[in-house]
Amino acid sequence: MIERRHTVPVLLWFVVLAPVLVAEVFRSPMVDYRLVAMGAVLPLTEIVLGGARVLHTLLGATVVMGVVMAGTVGRRLIRRRLLGVPIGMFFHLVLDGTWTRASDFWWPFAGWRFESDSLPEFDRPVAVGLVMELVAVAVGIWAWRRYGLDDENNRRFFVSTGQLVRGVLD
Q: Classify residue 141 as exposed, middle or buried by CB count within 10 Å of its CB (0-12, 13-18, 19+).
A: exposed
Distance (Å, whole) CA 7 – CA 41 = 17
Q: What is the pLDDT of residue 101?
A: 81
How distant is the alpha carbon of residue 121 from its chain centre? 12
pLDDT beyond 90 at 12 = yes
Q: How far is CA 124 from CA 71, 82, 96, 158, in A?
A: 37, 31, 11, 33
Are 142 and 156 a contacting pair, CB within 8 Å?
no
Residue 113: pLDDT band with limits 50, 70, 90: confident
| Phi and psi, residue 29, nearest 5° | -75, -10
Average confidence (pLDDT) over 98-118:
81
Average confidence (pLDDT) over 98-116:
82
Distance (Å, whole) CA 68 – CA 82 = 7
Q: What is the pLDDT of residue 3?
A: 44
